[in-house]
Structure 1
Amino acid sequence: MVLLRRVIGDALRARRQGQHRTLREVSSAANVSLGYLSEIERGQKEPSSELLAAICDALGARLSELLREVSDTVALAEQMPGVLVPVQEGTPAPAEPAPVGPTAVRKATGRGVRQVTSDGTVSVSVRHDSPLKATLRSKRVRSTDRDVVCAA
């Protein structure tokens, strides 16, 4: 299952790392403890809207941009069968991919089912590592490409 707090944390981490900034720099600028910011980025804590706005401000980003990025990632994940619900152990991958968006691929791999979909601006791939863990990777197709990795 994909957790919203993990998608938010991964989006924040991707922005921070894209600026080549440390946790210490951003935590100081946002007036939040380094440990708490680390927990937010790892998806272990859910930030309040005020704290999220302060972190975005410290990163020089608009809150609406971050939320739009998170929304795009979750919207694509919702279209992919089995991403937002736990996968049962031993469930085989279907022979044909389910039609999702303009492009969709689903194939069995050694570690689990891998799914890929894109709507032209965001590409999302999912790998099921275990019955309760999926790794979600999204990539924006823009001049400022950023990868966001989310383990749920």
Structure 2
Amino acid sequence: MVLLRRVIGDALRARRQGQHRTLREVSTAANVSLGYLSEIERGQKEASSELLTSICDALGARLSEVLREVSDTMAVAEQVEGVLTPLPRGDQKVEVGHRPRTEVATDGQVSVTVRRDNPLRTTLRTTRNMRPGNAGNARGREVVGV
């Protein structure tokens, strides 16, 4: 299952790295601890709307821009059957000899490649086509869903 907090963190990290800025620079500008910002970028913590706004301001981006990017990624990911379906509760058995299954979906602006490594691990790789003024969004990014 792909978690929203991981896609948000991925979008924030991509913007920061596209600006060639360190976690320390952005955490200082956003007035958030470096460790907490790192956890947000890795999708381990869910940030409040106030904190997301502060981080976006520090990155020189509007919250609506980041959320639109996240929304576009999630919309394309929804086209891949089962990618947003939660894993069943209880013990999961990883099949021995299970081969990764890869699926691709695109809407012309965002391409999402989903690789299901095993029942407990799915990798979502997003690639955003360049738009004028969004040169930092051209690189592919990976979000691992567990």
Normalising by structure 2, we get a TM-score of: 0.85
Letter in 2 for 1:141: N
2:78 aligns to what SS in structure 1? Answer: helix
Q: Unmatched 5+ residue regions in structure 2?
A: none
Match for residue 134 of structure 1 among 122, 133, 137: 122
1:132, distance to aligned residue in structure 2 (A)? 2.2
Q: How do 1:1-152 and structure 2 match up within 5 A?
A: 1-85=1-85, 86=87, 111-143=99-131, 144=135, 145-152=138-145
Structure 2 Cα separation of the partners of residues 148 and 56 of structure 1: 18
2: distance between equivalents of 1:134 and 1:120? Answer: 23
Give distance in 2, aligned partners of 1:35 and 1:111.
Answer: 36
> Which ranges of structure 1 fall in alignment gaps of 5 or more residues?
91-109
Q: Which has the larger displacement, 110-119 or 124-133?
A: 110-119
**Does the residue aligned with 1:82 lie in a helix, a strand or coil?**
coil
Question: For residue 25 of structure 1, what is the amino acid of its counterpart?
Answer: E
Corresponding letter in the other structure for 1:22: T
Q: What SS does structure 2 have at the residue aligned with 1:70?
A: helix
Identity of aligned residues (%): 70
Cα displacement string for residues 54-110 of structure 1 (whole angstroms, at most 9, x for unaligned residues): 0001001111110000001111111111211249855xxxxxxxxxxxxxxxxxxx8
SS of the counterpart of 2:83?
coil
Aligned equivalents of 1:142, 1:82: Cα separation in 2: 28
- Shift >6 Å, 4+ stretches: none
| TM superposition shift of 1:111 | 4.7
The aligned amino acid for 1:146 is: R
CA RMSD across the alignment: 1.7
Match of 1:95 in 2: none
Cα separation, 2, equivalents of 1:148 and 1:49: 23
SS at match of 1:79: coil
